[in-house]
A and B are shown apart, each in its own frame.
Chain A
């Protein structure tokens, strides 16, 4: 499984492996040795064996800015789990269940409404505690199974989202 990196918002797949001598970059069918060194002045130098290119690297959270050969590049790394979860329409399912028995005290969304991931779908009260049940993913509400004041058991299906691909 390869890494997912976007360079100036263009997605790339690559892998950084190891050989006896150091790092090896795998891109498509190309396998090339690479190294990032510092010269005597503390300048970073990208060494691909054939070329030694000075470069400037700045890390800003999950984004890396690179200045190389007179061009600026913006690199963003997405870990494989996040990438494939997003590619498959999110890891979460269509069904939202009750984490504990309780009663509905607010019902802010109705069937057919668009919701974003993290939007409150329903608010329940249980064991003197108010809990907002959030949408696990973006989507459309298919059914809200309980109305204000209704009680339910643990694991009852509270809300169903319209299945992806339907």
Chain B
């Protein structure tokens, strides 16, 4: 076992070059974190089943369970109306989950490696945001396969549009998750998070009922919730319902993402 002859240069023989300072935006470092998330998504693809089943349960329970009890909304049957909401649900669950995974990953896992690497803290945050958003978008995209069940027609154009809408929504929610993760020190709060953040954000986002017609106080809540704009954009792209507001929705989500990422970078800078 010990018979290989490695040819590592003795340390003393190496010229002592001053290593270069890490760049402010470390493209290669960000790419590494993104690549790792993609590799993990592929290696753990059997885990995707859980998310798909959860989404289908909601689709059948709501879409088909409530179909007869709810009058068509703007000419859309309820299962059509709720289908984009189910996609948004997949995004919020997966985006927050991947952001929260940072907590144990940096205490007991691979990210601890990244924490001591010669790179700025923004690398971790930007890489994780892109990785989480990409994997979240891909998982949500799987749900598009079930569009015919909900009588939602897919065209090349609206699929492209919905991908953009899903990705921007996923960026916003992942960045929100990262801020939460940066503040959380243990993961006992994980269940709490599901109950107090994920579910309310999902239910009060216009995913399962139209904003118009809701009481005023509820409308205020809905407009504060970033996911509302994501649901709007995805629904606009898929069904044309509220399509005119898509650019505004995406712009607001973009601004939200930038604010969240800045906050996350500021919080983690102050650490140690």
Q: Do A and B bind each other?
A: no
- Which residues in A have some Cβ–Cβ distance to B below 8 Å? none
